[in-house]
Structure 1
Amino acid sequence: MSRSPPIRSSGSDPILGVAMMFRTDEKDPTEADEGLLELAANVAAICVERTRAATQLEHLALHDPLTGLANRAQLIDRLGHAVLHPRTGGPYGAVLFLDVDRFKTLNDRLGHAAGDNLLREIGARIRSATRPGDLVARLGGDEFLVLCEGLNDPENAVEIAGRVLDTLRQRVDLGGTQTSVTASIGVALFQGGDPMDVLRNADAAMYRAKELGRDRFELFDETLRIEEQARRVLDEELRALAEGDVAGGTVVLAYDPIVQITTRHLVGFDVRASWEHPQRGIVLPGEFLATADDAAVAALLAERVWSDSLRRVQRWRASLPGADGLVVGIPLTVRELTDVQVVDRVASLLAETETAPEHVLVQVAESALIEDAATVEMSLRALRDAGVRIALGEFGAAHSSLLHLERFAIDVVRIDAAFIAGMLDRPGRLAIVRAVVDLAKELGISTIAEGVRTAAESERLGELGCDLAQGPWYSRALTGSEAETLLARSGPKLEVVT
């Protein structure tokens, strides 16, 4: 005679099996027998579920939950083993560092659900283009790595990278939406060495591929090695600079007057940051912010520029006659504008320095609107909703689109100095300046002419209806103390004297 109570699970699969008890005689089970059998079924269920949970946790610890590929932990472990204990076969190993080109733009256009499906498809395609023993991993976001061991020739790694690019270029169907994908791949070969150095080398080669136009691979070589070493030194110096270590040099702020053309009254300053390095000398304004490879260091440097600028100008507003309405223009890079915390950071800095939002003019290069346009647009609109004004720079210099004036909630257009130079002698340039000024007026947008060098240029811009200007004709960029002296000397009119 037998009894068979089910072994039940608390998960999605409610019955795992049955527990059975057999007797050699024909007697019915006693109450104690049935209790023992129920207990055995419960213990069996606990053991099975614990085993399943342990297996699942082990899998999750080593695999990416979205794609099912290996994760960073498994990749690092396997790479460390590959460096120390090469596989039998060829003498070379290689890491392919892959970054999907413009994935943020695709993700914003398609939606996050479709973006996740696209990442799964990319992972599957990479795996299909590699050898059976190769490890394909997703580091997070749109970054993937391939670890190849036992290569007979460096050319084998190049062939694998080429196959990966070819398979990614094939169009993808995402629920009826057709899209195409490209990637930039960095290839780093190794025969022993430090696993983290191998990863950094592959990463450096990947960035070189992006710089050279994307949709390609680059092999890490001696030139890149020298550049990578120099970059590491630079990163250390920038971190020291950001943390206020005197060994990293100092951040020097210059204040470039913004002048009302018709009255020549000073309305504010653009802040330009430069790096005074103990050995390198002066690094040109703005360059060191873009040079910072570490996003945290770049954010810290930008925060220093904002904080120092706002505090100084706020002090002028509070202590100098007629300076209460001064506007301060501070740049934001595309990296800052695509940071989800940028609006909160700006709001926090305004509160800390007691600066009214309307006294801040955020400077955005038009080229920044091209990369990840959806995220940049969201950040700019949020800043504008907070009361900060937005100025579009480089207008007309390279990527100009009239749609940018409407789409990105622009308050001020900066007419590039290239159009101001020679506009009195070149009818074409003058026509462009006139058209920009007229269009801006129709849209309710102010204009700033950059690089004004002569009285004739200033006068002509005033006749065209341009609102504001900067340039050597009005003033060179000033140190903080020079700007304060100018404000104290000029009084309520704040007139700039050439």
Structure 2
Amino acid sequence: MTSVPGPEPVDFEALFHQAPCGYLVTDDGGRITAVNGTFLHWSGYSLPDLVGSAIQSLMPVGDQILYSTHCIPQLGIAGAVSEVAVEIICADGSRRAALLSASRSPASGQQPATVRIIIFSAHERRMYEKELVSALRNAEESEARRAEAEHELQRLALQDHLTGLPNRAGLKAKLDGFLAARRAGQGTLAALCIDLDHFKAVNDSLGHAAGDELLVAVARRLVPAAGKQATVARLSGDEFIVVDIFAGTDEATARAARLLDVLRAPMLIEGLEIVTSASIGVAVAGEDGETMDDLVRRADIAMYRAKSLGRSRWELHQPAESDPTADRLRALAELRHGISDGALRLHYQPRVDLRTGLAVGVEALVRWQHPSRGLLAPSEFIGMAEESGLVRPLGAWVLEETLRQAEDWRIEDAGGSRLEVAVNLSARQLNDPGLVPMVEHALRLRRTDPSLLVLEITETALMDDPGGALDQLMALKDLGVSLAVDDFGVGYSSLTYLKKFPIDELKIDQSFIMGLGTDTGDAAIVTSCIDLAHAVGIRAVAEGVETPGQVQVLRAMGCDYAQGYHFARPLPAPLLREWLKANSQGQRPDSSPVLS
């Protein structure tokens, strides 16, 4: 007859000393006789500090333990205690053994932790050893589940949920080994920043599910191709990074070239064959004080340079290469200070009546007096101002300063008593709900006759949102101002929309004026623009007029107004004042070269 093995003997001492929970044992008088290492680690006490001490010196005893919470600070447990609970393990009617469970908040950046402390007397151990062992095992199983859950949370926090690769935080966690190897002189540390070309087109055309499938496929290709010791991570979106120790710069760039070839091979995404490519930036670790963030940032800079040079290539970061993002932020800060500190300037270009040769208005053109680069034309900063939202305060300043200057000319009557002033509006301003109140405030502030203000909007800006643009233009017309379509002929507006807009003049783009007298095609376009303007009852204005021949042709075509270098370059207010005086007296004013 085969005997059935009995239960394994209970190893109480092993449970006690190896447990992940903190244990204290007291004698029947409440003096501590044993402490395990976990409790010493949690509490900060040493073994001699505790053995022989009364448990009362650490915490209340008896029934008080059921509702007392200040015992935890007395034990020296680090972190803020958010919960204290007591579970009865066993009782003999007068004495209790209790499991004290307390949750503590972790140190910064760590995962939540749980503190468990079990207190029992030697007497209780003898009487209820089986129950105590069961309770200790339950506590340890609970602790093991908590530790497993904590480990899973840490893993998820360091891993990209889509590809399974390390994320940015996971990359940092893996880099100690690379830094140590570099310090030990085992090779050259380099980062390869990889960004897919035209990934947005996949998302837009096939959907985000297809985009995700493509990212997973890219990750699966990168890992084996990057090298056995390399770390491949997904930083964000379609941007990946490879970090490894190389024999030198040449090996790092050769690896980049190989990764490009791997990624160029077609991939099957949702039944379609997708051919993709990537731009890769390579950065080699420099001085010992450089951080991994610095290295990754330099690889990112090189990657953007690869994109700007045509994509589907790698570029090596050069030490003198600047960070375009940092440069842009620096330029934005400079522009913001320039607006607030009075570094903007206005130059004015006259608009001439082609029948009389007399000035009928001026166009205000903003300049920026940069502290180190000198006087900058609008093309150097208007785009940046539009993207950042700085165009709103910039535009408000231009309008108010233009109206202030126009008021001065009228007071001086330097040929400018009825001079129109034209101010450009950007597409961003046209979509700004605060535009009309801003114009109304400026007109009221300077007591300007609204009919003397011309607001110029590009044809492209009008057609970005025809419905919204029409509402804004109608509200501006209600203020009494005039409206002009700038750069006409290079956009894509329809005659239907043009007829609906409350426009007062068309400004024919200078690219067509340049060919007058030599290009029959340009002549036909300019004639059509002038005829169109007159057909809908508005003025035609030619931009960029530079020669007497162009003036002669425009007059013959019946063009109303013109502006350009033939008449005057954009001039600062003092020089324009002199020009206006000479022009009002029928003289040919002198126009010295000024930044246009």
> What is the 5 A alignment of 1:428-447?
429-431=522-524, 433-434=526-527
C-alpha deviation, 1:101, in angstroms: 3.3
Tell which structure's C-alpha radius of gyration is larger.
Answer: 2
Alpha-carbon displacement from aligned partner over 1:114-172 (angstroms, at most 9, x marks no partner): 44444444444444542243333333344x13232121232222222223322333445
> Is contact 1:98-1:145 (8 Å) kept?
yes
Q: 2:255 aligns with which of 143, 155, 160?
A: 160
| Larger RCO: 1 or 2 (CA < 8 Å, sep 6+) | 1
Q: 2:388 aligns with which of 290, 299, 306?
A: 299
Q: Which residue of 2 aligns with 1:347?
A: 433
Establish whether residue 151 from structure 1 lines up as the match of residue 264 from structure 2: no
C-alpha deviation, 1:113, in angstroms: 4.9
Establish whether residue 208 from structure 1 lines up as the match of residue 293 from structure 2: no
Q: Which residue of 1 aligns with 2:566?
A: 473
Change (3 A) 1:406 1:289: same
Change (3 A) 1:448 1:377: closer
Q: Which residue of 2 aligns with 1:29?
A: none
> Is contact 1:448-1:468 (8 Å) kept?
yes
Establish whether residue 130 from structure 1 lines up as the match of residue 223 from structure 2: no
> Is contact 1:188-1:220 (8 Å) kept?
yes
CA separation in 2, counterparts of 1:182 and 1:64? 22
Establish whether residue 271 from structure 1 lines up as the match of residue 365 from structure 2: yes
SS at match of 1:213: coil
CA separation in 1, counterparts of 2:172 and 2:274? 32
Q: Which residue of 2 aligns with 1:74?
A: 170
Structure 1 length-normalised TM: 0.62
Q: Which residue of 2 aligns with 1:287?
A: 380
> Is contact 2:346-2:365 (8 Å) kept?
yes
> Is contact 2:509-2:543 (8 Å) kept?
yes
Establish whether residue 99 from structure 1 lines up as the match of residue 195 from structure 2: yes
Which letter does structure 2 place at the counterpart of 1:211?
S
> What is the 5 A alignment of 1:237-248?
239-244=333-338
Which letter does structure 2 place at the counterpart of 1:460?
V
CA separation in 1, counterparts of 2:276 and 2:538? 38
Q: Which residue of 1 aligns with 2:398?
A: 309
Q: Which residue of 2 aligns with 1:34?
A: none
> Is contact 2:338-2:370 (8 Å) kept?
no
CA separation in 1, counterparts of 2:573 and 2:200? 39
> Is contact 2:426-2:458 (8 Å) kept?
yes
Q: Which residue of 2 aligns with 1:458?
A: 551
Change (3 A) 1:489 1:226: same
Which letter does structure 2 place at the counterpart of 1:387?
Q
SS at match of 2:242: strand
C-alpha deviation, 1:201, in angstroms: 2.2
Change (3 A) 1:432 1:282: same
Q: 2:472 aligns with which of 382, 387, 408?
A: 387
Change (3 A) 1:483 1:116: farther
Count of aligned positions? 419
> Is contact 1:186-1:203 (8 Å) kept?
yes
Q: Which residue of 2 aligns with 1:188?
A: 283
Which letter does structure 2 place at the counterpart of 1:147?
V
C-alpha deviation, 1:299, in angstroms: 1.7
SS at match of 2:472: coil
Change (3 A) 1:463 1:381: same
Establish whether residue 140 from structure 1 lines up as the match of residue 226 from structure 2: no
% identity of equivalent residues: 30
Structure 2 length-normalised TM: 0.54
Establish whether residue 421 from structure 1 lines up as the match of residue 514 from structure 2: yes
CA separation in 2, counterparts of 1:106 and 1:385? 35
Q: Which residue of 2 aligns with 1:254?
A: 347
- Unpaired segments ≥5 residues, structure 2: 1-134, 411-415, 444-452, 474-482, 591-596
SS at match of 1:471: coil
Which letter does structure 2 place at the counterpart of 1:96?
L
C-alpha deviation, 1:219, in angstroms: 1.0
Change (3 A) 1:130 1:426: same
C-alpha deviation, 1:226, in angstroms: 2.3
Q: Which residue of 1 aligns with 2:294?
A: 197
**Please, which moves more after superposition, 298-307 or 431-440?**
431-440
> Is contact 1:134-1:147 (8 Å) kept?
yes
> Is contact 2:223-2:232 (8 Å) kept?
yes
SS at match of 2:314: strand
Which letter does structure 2 place at the counterpart of 1:283?
L
> Is contact 2:226-2:242 (8 Å) kept?
no
C-alpha deviation, 1:428, in angstroms: 5.2
SS at match of 1:226: coil
C-alpha deviation, 1:58, in angstroms: 2.6
Kindly report the root-mean-square deviation, in angstroms, between the aligned alpha carbons of the 2 structures: 5.4
> Is contact 1:118-1:174 (8 Å) kept?
yes
CA separation in 1, counterparts of 2:379 and 2:177? 43
Q: Which residue of 2 aligns with 1:35?
A: none
- Unpaired segments ≥5 residues, structure 1: 1-38, 367-375, 397-401
Which letter does structure 2 place at the counterpart of 1:206?
M
CA separation in 1, counterparts of 2:322 and 2:228? 32
Alpha-carbon displacement from aligned partner over 1:396-452 (angstroms, at most 9, x marks no partner): 6xxxxx7x4469x89898655454335213445435655777799999999764311
> What is the 5 A alignment of 1:39-118?
54-55=150-151, 57-79=153-175, 82-83=178-179, 85-86=181-182, 90-104=186-200, 107-118=203-214
